Amino acid sequence: MDWQGQKLSEHLMQILLLAFAVVAFATGYIMGSFQMMILIYAGGVVLTTLVTVPNWPFFNRHPLKWLDPSEAEKHPKPQLAVNSKKKSVKKN
């Protein structure tokens, strides 16, 4: 899954969970059944999981272009700067 696919998956998850929560609450309120509300929401969570968790092809529309290994060898890795100066603390 590419970066934009992850963003799409996150948005789909939020929208679907909110939609199922609203539908479940409304149905549970109208029917007067807490159990029905929980069942509808649980079904929404399962459906949302099936839509957003697997790596579906529409989440891979913008693949990353990686550098060839032969090209990577030409460019050395950047070195971290090490600060060897330490402040000395005098005790009086």
pLDDT, tens digit only, all 92 positions of the chain:
888 889 999 999 999 999 999 999 999 999 999 999 999 999 999 999 999 988 888 888 888 887 777 777 777 777 777 766 656 566 65
The span from the CA of 44 to the CA of 27, in Å, is 13
Give the closest residue to 39 by CA, choosing from 24, 60, 55, 54: 24
What distances in angstroms separate CA 59 from CA 19, 45, 65, one per listed residue?
21, 19, 16
Q: Model's pTM, two decimal places?
A: 0.68
Per-domain residue ranges for the chain? 3-54
Percent of residues in the chain assigned helix, strand, coil, to nearest 5: 60, 0, 40
Pick from 1, 11, 3: nearest CA to 59: 1
Residue 51: both structure tokens together: 């839509």
